Structure 1
Amino acid sequence: MTERRRISSGSAFEAVAGYSRAVVDGADIFVSGTTGYDYAAMVLPEDLVAQTHGCFANIAAALAQAGASLDDVVRVRYIVTQADYADIVFPIFGQYFAKARPAATLIVAGLLQPQMKIEIEVTARRQG
């Protein structure tokens, strides 16, 4: 039987909402929908590009705690609040996933707070 391990971002919201930043189950790592919130500065950047890079930084940090990296991602779901954001963020996605090339879905939907412009969720599988 594989051991399940939870990874936290340190956000108090995780306990309130009953979730973890990521869950490691064997070789699989499931990272919750992640925004570009800057936990060091305790702010959410206004800019879409900065939020997108922040999402990837937060996801990479969770994956690192699980012994993985963005190169191990096999599935990604992007949620943006406006369809016209796609042309802006696609090249950023390509930067981070040039090697992994995961299966991907882009969804246009509202997010929890109006200042949030993007949220990214990934599934990764550790190699070896």
Structure 2
Amino acid sequence: MTRQFVSSGSVFEAQIGYARAVVEGDWIFVSGTTGFDYATGAISTDVVEQARQTIDNIETALRQAGFGLMDIVRVRYILPERADFEPCWPVLRERFGPVQPAATMIVAGLADPRMKIEIEVTGRRRST
């Protein structure tokens, strides 16, 4: 079985030494992902916009590896501010609601003070 690596082009991947996602067989492990627009390097100051961009970034990594949002089985939300989580619920419900993955929310500091949410997912390719 060959391990496949997916890169988003984020400077953090190169600086720290990790892949955006790792595929092992039918499984994909997507690293903690934030709301940076990788094309411009910009990040919104709004947590809801960051959540939306973060999921877009995750979906891009999944697609590059032949997966989709419907393959997600586990999601972890990490936020520095507990109060920022509830405003994100509509976006999270819209994008992850049809999947209904197992989920955990953790309050913790993030690597860059501009980051207001980080999301990590695990997926398994569905049988057809």
Aligned partner of 2:9 in structure 1 is 10
Superposition deviation, residue 83 in structure 1:
0.9
For structure 1, the residue ranges without an aligned partner over 5 or more in a row are none
Aligned partner of 1:31 in structure 2 is 30
**SS of the residue 2:45 aligns to:** coil
TM-score (norm 1): 0.95
CA RMSD after TM alignment: 1.0
Superposition deviation, residue 42 in structure 1:
1.7
- Work out whether 1:125 is the aligned partner of 2:124: yes
For structure 2, the residue ranges without an aligned partner over 5 or more in a row are none
Provide the C-alpha distance between the structure 2 equivalents of 1:13 and 1:115, rounded to a whole number of angstroms. 14
Q: 4+ runs of 1 displaced by more than 3 Å?
A: none
- Count of residue correspondences: 127
- Work out whether 1:55 is the aligned partner of 2:54: yes
Superposition deviation, residue 11 in structure 1:
2.3
Superposition deviation, residue 39 in structure 1:
1.3
- Work out whether 1:116 is the aligned partner of 2:115: yes
TM-score (norm 2): 0.95
